[in-house]
Structure 1
Amino acid sequence: MTSHTTSLKTERPRERLLTHGAHVLTSPELLAIILRTGIKGCDAVALGHRLIEQFNGLRGLLSADPQALMRIHGLGAAKTCELLAINELNRRALEEDLKTGQALDQPQRVKHYCSAKLGHLQIEHCIALYLDNQLRLITTEEVSRGTLAQASIYPREVIKAGLRHHAAALILAHNHPSGVAQPSQADLALTRHLKHALALVDIRLLDHLIIAGTDAISLAERGQI
């Protein structure tokens, strides 16, 4: 047991991944595989650890602004692009699942998808997931972008987009940069108004998700749709 543990520690992250699987690596070690090299006095694993700390976790790092990443000593354009590509690939993988299966059968995947798109943002954004008559994802569109405290959502624009995409239903999601995933009275009022407006053109509002970091509150699950 001791010799096995010692060999694990002496193997390089890439060798450990190929031999034992990605699950045995720490997050800094996985980052080290992408970074490949460190900087003077700081190897790739230590650099990965430093980046995770600086951006308050993997989510913050992988969804950071490109300019913020490129200001970090040791990250150039190539490494910045690789980090950003990982997050985008993750979002697209989640999106594929929603395009091939009913969204209502995958509530956790819907939450993960919306969290991946919105959870890291510092101002309020609202997106709409437009669904076909089998409740598969057609497309996702941003419907508003606001200040730190508030976004303006115009139901008419949401409806126009729904008709353009021939949507049968939609899911609304927006983030709370405050970090508190609780609906405000304004959120509830908007939900009621939008549900009524969509019903006039035979589009169902299935859910409204409130995203705060990794937390996601479903108004449908709470009986508030």
Structure 2
Amino acid sequence: MNHLSCAEYAPPLRPGILLRDLHPVERPREKLASSGPEALSDQELLALVLRTGYAGRGVMDLSASLLEGFPAGLGAAGYEALRRVKGVGASRAAALVAAFELARRFSGRQDPRPVLDSPVRVLQAVPEAVRAGRKEHLLAFYLNARSQLVHQETVSIGTLSASLVHPREVYSPAVSHSAAGVIVV
């Protein structure tokens, strides 16, 4: 089942319209602030990157013509091709190429923080040296709201069969790391 984003339901803007002519809730920046980036069309997102049009042509028209002018995709357009477009120039071409390159780089990255959402994953997060050790270790895993590990700390190392700890030693790092959850092992 295909789901359409809010942006795909939005009708395209009329040619020649200026941002100042739009109702404030229809302007890209305000729309992004109130509804998030998913609610914006490609044209509106591009207008935010470009920021302004040029004499006689608004940023929304410039965005639309750029999207139409590169059928293979604006992200595949090179610096020289973009620079030659009227109203883009060297500075905007560089900004667009840089923005698309950043998007490519970030899209391939995984969040390095492990998710500790099951007992098995918590056990996997305990270092082998602690599991095989001869003394009790009290570990605290501090998690964000998505159960991702934001900080790990050895709170106490005890004896062969006991470990003494004050609750403050567990909760103080939770506050300093703005943790949404704590797992004590």
Q: TM-score interval w.r.t. the shorter chain?
A: 0.3 to 0.5
TM superposition score normalised by structure 1: 0.37
Q: TM-score, normalised by structure 2?
A: 0.44
- Higher strand proportion (structure 1 or 2): 1
Structure of higher CA gyration radius: 2
